[in-house]
Amino acid sequence: MNTWPYPARVAHRGAGKLAPENTLAALRRGAEFDYRMFEFDVKLSADNALVLMHDPLLDRTTNASGRLAAATLADLARIDAGSWHSAQYAGESVPTLERVAAWLRANDYLANIEIKPCPGREAQTGAAVALEVRHLWRDAPALPLLSSFSVTALEKVRAHAPELPRALLFHVLPEDWLEQCLALGCVAVDTHYATLSPEIIARAHEAGLRVVAYTVNDPERAEQLFGWGLDMLITDAIDHIKP
């Protein structure tokens, strides 16, 4: 089976729901609960800066509106990505991947970077993430795990930085999930926890793949999944599921 330098439990979007998702504040909050690895989403701005954001629209998690793909980095620097969550996080910024990488590496933390392209920018985002991660994590003892629902994005990662570990994401596992993962040279399959069974995990392991499950928020379900052989879970419940 492939080398796997990652912990078994990962904080979703930084701190789950305890802080504004995909911000440095969320990463710091997750670290307060002793999490050492963080999952977060990355997209391209209008001027091709890599920033942390889940949605294609700014409306849900900032005080701005409209498409992220139409906003420049200068535009994003002026918006508030924290007050939607709670007053204590008012003024929190939309961070760049570069800024987050600096914090992670300085504190010896690990990352699961989900490549979440804006519609129509799958290839461009995959290539940009590959090159930027290769640069930002040069000489790092453990590289980020790059995951995506986009086959195109992961194909571009493989083309530009084949050494970066990849995981294909699924909402529901199709019949050919294993073939898809192997065709992309993935080290893991990453899927919704409800789609997993002991047989699926065993099949992945037999093929040399690790298994990642999202988003597991029930401690009892987490233990069941680990009993089946799960390698990693991603959780919002960082205050209930110990790292």
As a whole number of angstroms, the distance between CA 136 and CA 30 comes to: 22
The answer to whether residue 12 is catalytic is yes
Rounded distance between C-alpha atoms, residue 196 and residue 36, angstroms: 25
What do you get for the CA distance between the two ends of the chain, in Å? 23
Paired sense of beta strands 166-170 and 110-115, if any: unpaired
| Residue from 54, 160, 192, 205 carrying the catalytic annotation | 54
CA distance 213 to 169: 9
The dihedral over CA atoms of 241, 15, 134, 7, expressed in degrees to the nearest 10, equals -10
Radius of gyration from C-alpha coordinates of the chain: 17
Among this protein's residues, is 160 annotated catalytic? Answer: no
Annotated catalytic residues are: 12, 54
